[in-house]
Every structure is written in C-alpha cells, then in structure tokens.
Amino acid sequence: MYQVKEIFHTLQGEGFHSGRAAVFLRFSGCNLWNGREEDRASSICQFCDTDFVGTNGTSGGKYKTAAELAETVAECWSAETECMDATPYVVCTGGEPLLQLDAELITALQGHGFEVAVETNGTIDVPAEINWVCCSPKAGSKLVVSTGDELKLVYPQIGISLESLVNLDFRHFYLQPMDGYRLSENTAQAIDYCRKNPRWRLSTQMHKIAGIR
C-alpha cells in the first residue's frame, strides 16, 4: 500500500534539473515533522514549505500495488506531454519518500520508461535502483546518505558544517536560500558563500519565482 498526497505534471523548480518537465509523485508522511503546524516548532525540520499530510491532493490516494501507482504516473506524463521522444522523468518527493518508495515501485516506474529521481532528507538508505539522488540534509538529524548525484542544502541551518558536507561523494552541491521573512538576507548570504566557495552553486526556487506549481 502506497499513501500518496498528490501526483502532478510540472517543471522541476530547484537544483540541477531546474526547468525540466517532470511528474511529481508526492508521498504522504515524513520522519522529521508530522506536518501539523502546532508541532512544527518542536520538530527536527521546522522550515518545510510543503503540504504532505493526507491523500487528498490531485490523483492522491491509497494505491494497493506498485503497478497501479506507476500506471497513474505514466498517464499523468502522457496526458501533458506532446513531444514523446524525451525521456519521462518522475520526481519522488514528500514529506520523506523513502518511507514508502521501494524497489518494486522503482522497477514499475522504469518499466514505463521513467528516469526515477528521489528528493530525500538523507536519513534513510537509498535503493540502488534509483536513477537520480538529491539529498537535502536537515540539522539535528542523522545523515546516512553520503553519496549521490546532488546535495541541496537549504541555507542557512545552524548545526550543519558546509565544510564537512562538501567532502561527501556527491557530483553537485547546491545552496538554496531558506524561504520566509529572511529570504533576501539568506539569498545574499548564499550568493556570497558560493562566490567564495565555488564547489557550491546557488539554487533558487524557480517554481515560486515563475508561479509554477
């Protein structure tokens, strides 16, 4: 059984694949915050900007099998895509997708031709079958994912050493300014850090700037 918040076609708004057409498969639930505003301040992750509670979003629901869920994702891609010669791309996100995403579902998605990406907080081991791993560490949690394609840190976070993160085995490193009332200040700090430390690149939330879902 897979509990899914929503499935929708959009453009990736952050990181390496920013601007790429994708289906977002958002799972319900997270291990660093339960999604309730009254519990945000006492949670490990306090700055999440995503609604991942329940199964009431677009195409959300409780899917009994991997095949059923993969078919729904494939239909979402084909319904919105005119040029079918591009590789289908699905971003498995949450919440924390690795609480539910497993080898059976990954294989089912790949069976429909999808390149399968995951956006994880790095506290759960990543299945080897995943095509693209984007890890976004959170201060106060135990990071167990030390290798992947993209490390994207929401910045700044007290308690996280950027010097130690850059030594991990990732191909790309991004700083993404934390949203909120300090966004301008956080953006300026991130730009300054990236200028002085060129292993890091700036990631903006393009979907918010462009008004994309």
Identify whether 114 is a catalytic site residue: no
Q: Spot the catalytic one: 9, 112, 172, 207.
A: 207
| CA–CA gap between residue 141 and residue 188 (Å, rounded) | 26
Which residue do the tokens 């390149």 mark? 115
Active site residue: 6, 14, 27, 45, which one? 45
48 noted as active-site residue: yes
> Is residue 119 among the annotated active site residues?
yes
Catalytic residue, chosen from 14, 24, 76, 173, is 24
Q: Is 76 labeled as catalytic in the residue annotation?
A: no
Q: Which of 119, 120, 135, 173 is catalytic?
A: 119
The DSSP code sequence of 6-29 is EEEEEE--SSTTTT-EEEEEEES-
Q: Which of 50, 68, 185, 192 is catalytic?
A: 50
Decide if 87 is catalytic.
no
From the list 6, 27, 48, 52, the catalytic residue is: 48
Buried/exposed 124-156: b ≥16 CB within 10 Å, e otherwise: bebbeebbbbbbbbbeebebebeebbbbbbbbb
Catalytic-role residue among 49, 68, 125, 192: 49
Task: List, in sequence order, the alpha helices (H) in 91-169.
Answer: 103-111, 162-165
Q: How many CB atoms neighbour CB 66 within 10 A?
A: 19
Can 93 be counted among the known catalytic residues? no
92 carries an active-site annotation: no
Query: Could you say which of 6, 17, 27, 30 is catalytic?
Result: 30
* Cα–Cα distance measured from residue 62 to residue 48, given in angstroms and rounded to the nearest whole number: 23
Q: Is 71 a catalytic residue?
A: no
Report cis status (omega within 30 of 0) of the bond before 29.
no
Catalytic residue numbers?
24, 30, 45, 48-50, 119, 207
